[in-house]
Amino acid sequence: MAFTEIIQAWLFFGLLIEVLKVSGVSVNARDFVHGDYPDKYITTEALPRYLSEWEQKARKMPEHVRKGQSVKQQDILMLSIQFRLQQISGQWWEDAPLHWVDRPEESYEMALPLPLQMSIAVLCETLDRAGRRFGNVERRPIEHMLRNNSLVDELKARAWCPSEISFVLQGLSDTSAFFASRLERRRLQADHSKCSANKCRALDIIAERYQTRHVPECRGCQNAGIDSYELAATLRRGQIPRACFRLTDHSRRKPIRLIIGESGPYVAISHVWSDGLGNPKANSLPTCQLIRLYGMINALDIDFANGTPAVWIDSLLVPVQKGQEKRLALSQLCNYYRAAEKVLVLDSDLLGASKACTREELITRVFFSTWMRRLWTLEEGILSRGNLVFQLCDGTVSLRELSESDHFSASVTGIGNVFGGKMREFLPNLADHQGRTEGDKTRLSIFADLLPALEYRSTTKAIDEQLCIAHILGVDARELVTIDDVQLRMKRLLELLAQNGSKFPMRLLFTKEPKLQLDGFRWVPTAFMAFEHDDVNYLRERDEKFNTGFSDKGLLIKGIGAWTLPFGGEIFKKVTYIEVEKSIFALTPVPVGQSCRDAEGFWTPQVLEQALKVDPAQHWHPEMQAMLGTSPETTAILFGGPFGMLVSIHYSEGQAGDPDGSLIYARPIGQFYMRELMTATQSFVTHGPNSSQIKIVQPTWTLSGTEKDMEEALEKIYDPETSTFLHSKVIPHSQRWCIG
């Protein structure tokens, strides 16, 4: 028997038989094989029937029996996953509860055909979904535990954008990614050589080279536009301009003309300029494109005023010339999409799809469309969720139609549900956040919902980000459009959000994106789109610690752990040891390009060796290099676990009658690794001598013994040439800070 046949017999047929046998379902393997040798092939045509039998048997069982069976079935599935991780993909899922099997000493990566790997993955995911439903148990889905290297190679060979491959690795199951990889997509012909792991740059626009496109069948036509004076007057009156279509039969050269309207239903167009429907030079579009828009809008069955279709599209109705009118239009973009009868999405990939496609295919195409990768379309999609429709080659489909089917499917298709969930994550419903929130709880979750939606989106102009976020969160953007400096615009956005009651997680101190270089704001990002995936996940952990408010000097923080670092006459060196509350920690600067959250929590001989090899002149940030060999004045370490932020304290001021005490103004110096000194009994220090846990584990433990252990461990590694030792004091959590 060939090697691949052995794997197939075990991980496909064996897995299927063993999982269903637990629930009393007998499987005939012949039901899953069609054809005769040498043209035999596996089919899952009979699988829904077996799953239905499984469900019927499960429904008749007592709950405790059903849940017990579910645990056994999960163990079988996890054993299959463990083998695939270690021996086929070369990976090891460290967080998996693989207590029933020892980790093998050696890994033998097996080269299996991709179709065979995917057949096993499809079956495993389907059985897992069915087991979670039939067993009526909540457990972590297994579909994200494996990342198929062969599939990644396949995506690279098909010229997928690095940002899309990164997303597949971070957020999709193998079967969902494989399904998406089979779809023909026009965008794959773009140049992705400048794209990064979370940003596609193939869509960026160079205004000087931009060419507005005609429809493919056009042999040449003139542009038609709107009257710029009428547009300016409408904007100054605070009205929403509409381009109303007028058909003219008397001229083939100008079969259509546009007039400005200020009332009545209209359709807003949401598109990406890389598809050719923009115009940076004039408020006009080719006649062929306008005729196409006329047909699409007319087909939406909207009762237009006087029967005249009306449209809002930025190419026609946002003035191209800089000035008051353009600023007015940009500041009111949110209102244009909210007030539209429908918002029609035009995307070149989607225009090649048909309504006859399955829901799985349509929602996958929408998710991987160009439209889902741009910043402006995020705003447009969020503000018009209820009225959003996507144009296909033979009609439209609404967002509601694509995402409303969230029921669990016992069949082999769970792909639509996977992408439906991802659509809600990357196009979130933030209506409750738009300046009309009730209580602080909703406002605190803004960033947890918004950051994932921004992670894989890009924009040609970085300064557009603050304007889009302002529109999404219901902030008045009229002042923002007058600010042309990206840092000053971000600063003002944060001030406006803070004044509206929005709060920001203090975890921003420990993320590694570029920070604002402005007093009072040096701990917040220059761009929310700049976060890397691990930072997005870190900030989404629903940390309950948020900044407490806003003053004329910046954003305020309260509730963060902090220790003083009284250098006195001591000199700052490579390693700073601090003793605080009976524990000893080692502080070392985070090198350029790293994050304080990348480090282990304990200071071991191996970590010490690595830290001493670091060359400050090459690896340290300039702020840290400047401190080397000096005696810093008043400094403190703010911490959030095994990582911290070193700050210099400039001054403090008391607040008369304020129960929160004084306000300390400090400037961040840089991120630091903060590792505990490792000893055999050190973890007992915080428990205390009367802890029942200590009495069971080590009944002879004493605090003095541990202190002696730590002193001896420190003596072995302390080097006065490279190290400084300080006695630190705890700063109360009630202390308020202005960092920056």
H/E element, 17: helix 15-22
Nearest to 5 by CA among 40, 34, 35: 40
How large is the average pLDDT for residues 374-398?
94
In a domain? residue 379: yes
Which of 575, 674, 677, 556 has the alpha carbon at shortest distance from 624? 575
Boundaries of domain holding 593: 561-739
Structural domain contains residue 152: no
Do residues 388 and 515 both lie within one domain? no
> In this structure, are 354 and 483 located in the same domain?
no
Cα 268 from Cα 365, distance rounded (Å) = 21
Do 493 and 586 belong together in one domain?
Answer: no
For position 63, what pLDDT does the model report? 86
Based on the domain organization, do 569 and 694 belong to the same domain? yes
The residue among 403, 420, 452 that closes a domain is 403
Residue 501 has pLDDT above 70, yes or no: yes
Q: CA angle at residue 378 from 375 to 381, to 5 degrees?
A: 150
Interatomic CA distance for residues 207 and 610, integer angstroms? 48
Q: How far is CA 313 from CA 71, 270, 347, in A?
A: 55, 7, 14
Task: Tell me the C-alpha distance between 589 and 522, whole Å.
Answer: 18
Same domain, 228 and 255: yes
Specify whether the CB–CB gap between 288 and 281 falls below 8 A: no
Say whether pLDDT at 293 is over 60.
yes
pLDDT at 410 over 50: no
Residue 599 lies in a domain: yes
Handedness of CA 426, 144, 527, 156 (dihedral sign): negative
Indicate the pTM of the whole model: 0.84
Q: Amino acid identity of 229?
A: Y
Please check whether residues 574 and 687 belong to one and the same domain: yes
Any domain includes 176? no
Mean pLDDT, rounded, for 449-462: 90
Residue 634 falls inside a structural domain:
yes
Task: Taking each helix axis as running N to C, give the angle between helix 47-59 and helix 114-134, from 0 to 180 degrees, rounded to the nearest 10.
Answer: 20
Q: What is the pLDDT of residue 442?
A: 43
If asked whether residues 542 and 573 sit together in one domain, one would say no
Neighbours of 253 (CB within 10 A): 8
Same domain for 519 and 629 = no
Other beta carbons within 10 angstroms of residue 438's beta carbon come to 8
Do 228 and 125 fall within a single domain? no
pLDDT tens by residue, 218-244? 988 899 999 999 999 999 999 999 999
Which helix H or strand E contains 377, and what residues bound it? helix 375-383
Residues 71-98 as b/e (b if ≥16 CB within 10 A, e otherwise) read ebbbbbbbbbbbbbbbbbbebebeeeeb
SS (H, E, C) 190-257: CCCCCCCCCCCCCCCCCHHHCCCCCCCCCCCCCEEECCHHHHHHHHHCCCCCEEEEEECCCCCCCCEE
If one counts the domains in the chain, the total is 4
Residue 620 domain-assigned (yes or no): yes
Last residue of a domain, one of 383, 403, 423: 403
Whether residue 483 sits in one domain with residue 386: no
What is the share, in percent, of the chain residues with pLDDT greater than 70?
A: 85
pLDDT digits (tens, 9 = 90+) for 172-201: 777 888 888 888 887 667 888 899 988 999
Structural domain contains residue 197: no
Domain end call among 348, 383, 403: 403
Please state at what angle helix 359-367 crosses helix 415-426, rounded to 10 degrees. Answer: 30
Asked whether residue 98 carries a pLDDT value surpassing 50, the answer given is: no
Separation in Å, CA 361 to CA 234, 373, 666: 42, 18, 53
> Whose CA is closest to 673, among 724, 603, 582, 605?
603
CB-CB contact of 529 with 457 (8 Å): yes
Burial of 619: CB neighbours in 10 Å, binned 0-12, 13-18, 19+: middle
Mean pLDDT of 667-683: 83
What percentage of the chain carries pLDDT values higher than 90? 43
Q: Once rounded to an integer, what is the mean pLDDT over residues 446-475?
A: 89
What's the DSSP call for residue 88? I
606 Cβ contact partners less than 8 Å away, ≥ 6 residues apart: none
- In this predicted structure, what is the pLDDT of residue 446? 64
Instruction: State how far the Cα of 684 lies from the Cα of 703, in Å rounded to an integer.
Output: 8
* pLDDT (0 to 100) of residue 106: 55
Contact 444, 503 (CB under 8 A): yes
Domain assignment present for residue 734? The answer is yes
CA distance 729 to 634: 13
Q: Are residues 257 and 215 part of one domain?
A: yes
pLDDT bucket at 141, cuts 50 / 70 / 90 = low
Give pairs for 446-449: CB < 8 Å, separation 24+.
Answer: 446/473, 446/502, 447/504, 447/505, 447/528, 447/539, 448/539, 448/540, 448/542
Mean pLDDT of 95-113: 52
pLDDT at res. 227: 94
Residues paired with residue 603 on neighbouring β-strands, in sequence order: 677
List beta partners, residue 579.
584, 727
What's the whole-number average pLDDT of the chain?
A: 84
Residues in contact with 134: Cβ distance below 8 Å, sequence separation at least 6, in sequence order: 23, 54, 55, 58, 59, 66, 70
The H or E element containing residue 34 is: strand 33-34
**324, 250 contact by CB (below 8 A):** no
Residue type, 260: I
Higher pLDDT, 629 or 257: 629
Confidence of residue 26 (pLDDT cuts 50, 70, 90): very high
For residue 121, give every residue at least 6 positions away whose Cβ sits within 8 Å of its Cβ, in sequence order, or none: 146, 148, 173, 174, 175, 178
Q: Are 329 and 315 in contact (CB under 8 A)?
A: no
The reply to whether 541 and 579 lie within a common domain is: no
The predicted structure's pLDDT at residue 143: 56
Q: Which of 392, 307, 309 is nearest to 344 (CA)?
A: 392
Question: In sequence order, what are the beta bridge partners of 679?
Answer: none
Model pLDDT, residue 350: 94
